[in-house]
């Protein structure tokens, strides 16, 4: 596993979390069958299609990365565990001061 793969995976996870907060950077035109657009609008009436498609593609790319390299999820979990441990440690030190 190389660092580029890890960086891409982490970026996609961050993007999946923050899609609703940020603006779009590039424009993409997508052509879909009318029936599919109708079903999307009916199923998700209060979500704009751009956000919905961005979330779907982000999830798809994350899924592909997980299939291609199953170690990624373990690496991310370990990183998060280390960060959580550091936060607990720092909070306990703040209480002692």
Burial of 31 (0-12, 13-18, 19+ CB in 10 A): exposed
pLDDT at 34: 93
Q: How far apart are CA 81 and CA 84, in angstroms?
A: 5
Residue showing tokens 């990624």: 72
pTM tops 0.85, yes or no: no
Reduced DSSP (H G I as helix, E B as strand, rest coil) percent helix, strand, coil of the chain, to 5: 75, 0, 25
pLDDT tens track, the chain, 97 positions: 677 777 777 777 777 777 756 666 778 788 989 998 999 899 989 888 888 888 888 888 888 887 787 777 777 788 888 889 999 999 998 888 7
CA-based end-to-end distance of the chain: 42
């Amino acid at each position: 596993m190389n660092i580029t793969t890890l960086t891409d995976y982490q970026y996609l996870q961050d993007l999946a979390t923050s899609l609703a907060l940020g603006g779009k950077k590039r424009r993409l035109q997508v052509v879909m069958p009318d029936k599919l657009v109708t079903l999307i609008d009916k199923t998700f009436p209060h979500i704009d299609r751009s956000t919905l498609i961005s979330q779907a593609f982000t999830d798809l790319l994350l899924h592909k990365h997980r299939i291609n390299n199953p170690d990624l999820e373990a690496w991310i979990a370990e990183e998060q565990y280390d960060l959580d441990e550091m936060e607990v440690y720092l909070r306990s030190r703040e209480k002692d001061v």
